[in-house]
Structure 1
Amino acid sequence: MILKKHKETILYLFFGALTTFVNIVSYLFFTRVISFNFIIANTLAWILAVLFAYVTNKFFVFESMKTEMIFLFKEFLSFISFRLFSGFIEMLIMYIMIDFLFVNDIIVKIITNIIVIILNYLFSKMIIFNNLK
């Protein structure tokens, strides 16, 4: 009964953790293997994570099964818009903490991911996958 009641939240946390994993592993790949600047690496990691998150949130978490092209376009545009906002917040925090406060980039990446997960859940639950049904 508890699982049914909290299924959406549990699934969001599960796929949010996977999205975070995609984001951090991609970031590490781009910074440590390819030696990209943290801003470029974070942007690329963000793109991969957002694409992964859209698919998992749409079909598995919020079960938005409409697949008509115009609906998908509106839904994806809404999703991307809010992710751009939370991505901007993440980038701003990373820039300040890494370049001005000299905090380790991995620690900052983990902290910002927690903030972003909370913001994105609220946006997805209340706006993106709610109003377009």
Structure 2
Amino acid sequence: MKIRVVSSKDEIDILNPNEKIVHFAFRPSNQNIFSLVIRCPQVKALHIPGSYLKSISESTRMYLKMQNIELLEGDVWGHRKDINEYYEIPQELFDHLRQLRTDKMPEQAILEKLTRETRLGPDLIAFIVKNN
């Protein structure tokens, strides 16, 4: 799974319209979020650092909910945008998730275990578990 990292509002206009998950590495305005949703109609989640998430208005949150777009809190630690515009979630995480499900581990325990074992935020882990 790839997360498209967007570092500035200027990048929104050149995004691939097929992006599914986008991480904002800057504090997005309401207009930036609306522009992204229009540019990428298939987007399923917006991943935003916690400090920036607090500045998202209630009207924007409601709009995203109506569009079935999840707002996820978190960061992409150690990612270098100058090397790759995508942050990749390793296949091993999905393999491990599949194994935990095969072992009949309860979903809450899976969420806690994967959050502990990875550097990914709980919101992103919950999204991955729910959608895979």
TM-score (norm: length of structure 1): 0.29
More strand per residue: 1 or 2? 2
